[in-house]
Amino acid sequence: MRLILLGPPGSGKGTQAQRLVQQHGIVQLSTGDMLRAAVAAQTPIGLKAKDIMAAGGLVPDEVVVGIIADRIEQPDAANGFILDGFPRTVPQAEALDALLKQKQMNLDAVIELRVNEGVLLERVERRAAEMRARGEAVRADDTPEVLTKRLASYRDQTEPLIHYYSDHRMLATVDGMMSIEQVTAEIGRILAAVGKSGGSRAAKKASPAKRSAKAPAKAAKKAAKKAPKAAAPTKKAGKAAKKPAKAVKKAPKKASKAAVKTAKGTRKTSAKAAKKRATR
């Protein structure tokens, strides 16, 4: 099972990822952990990342994708994996799609944990206040100010992935404001539905293309069936065309007969007139 969990900081992705790891025997792949492991193992891609990080630069997408490509080939990822922290942008999602296609793998689901950002900020403020009241130090990265910046970064960079995977018909959204147990149960229901469909999802995606390919053939067959029916009236049209032609041919004959009759009538009248003059 290969999954991506989406959601802003504080949405509970880490908690749900750990539960999925235990339930399904898959591994959680964090880009940060993978980078550090690749650097420690001194793999070619890890050494490249080390040089970039040592220079204070951001590791480019192609390097991260290369590290993921190496990691998902390891034996412990044979049952599947959950990607944590990747992809963060649409270009990274496209690069991941290309990688999985190259390895003849598919994502089973992309699950979004949707939460109320205002409630998240209230939780952080309350947690920080409780820690101060107990005399405990508040982590620098666990303050309302830091969370506000992280939420803004999520909206700008990662939230477009929701539309990307929704367009690819892979996104399932879960109400992250429910209890942890309820969220786990809902994710389980989604994955059970995916498991029942099996590989049919790819077939369903392909079916519109097949239908579109068959459509012209069906249209051609229909046109071929209709063509003889449309051609049939031409025989009647031919008969209709012959009738005027016959009428035209008959017209001179009728005219000539009338002329003969007229000529005969004229001769008879002249003969009668001549006899009358002779008797006088």
Q: Give the active site residues.
A: 13, 88, 126, 139, 150
Measure the CA–CA gap between 234 and 240, rounded to whole angstroms.
Answer: 9
Residue type, 77: A
Measure the CA–CA gap between 33 and 161, rounded to whole angstroms.
Answer: 22
Sign (positive or negative) of CA dihedral 254, 255, 259, 265: positive
* CA distances (Å), origin 72, targets 24, 38, 92, 202, 224: 16, 13, 16, 21, 53
Length of the chain: 280
Q: Angle formed by the axes of helices 61-71 and 44-54, to 10°?
A: 140
Contacts of 221 (CB under 8 A, 6+ apart): none
Measure the CA–CA gap between 53 and 40, rounded to whole angstroms.
Answer: 13
SS3 content of the chain, % helix, strand, coil (to 5): 70, 10, 20
As given in the structure block, the two tokens for residue 162 are 């929701």
Residue type, 128: A
As given in the structure block, the two tokens for residue 82 are 């959950």
Measure the CA–CA gap between 20 and 154, rounded to whole angstroms.
Answer: 23
Measure the CA–CA gap between 230 and 235, rounded to whole angstroms.
Answer: 11
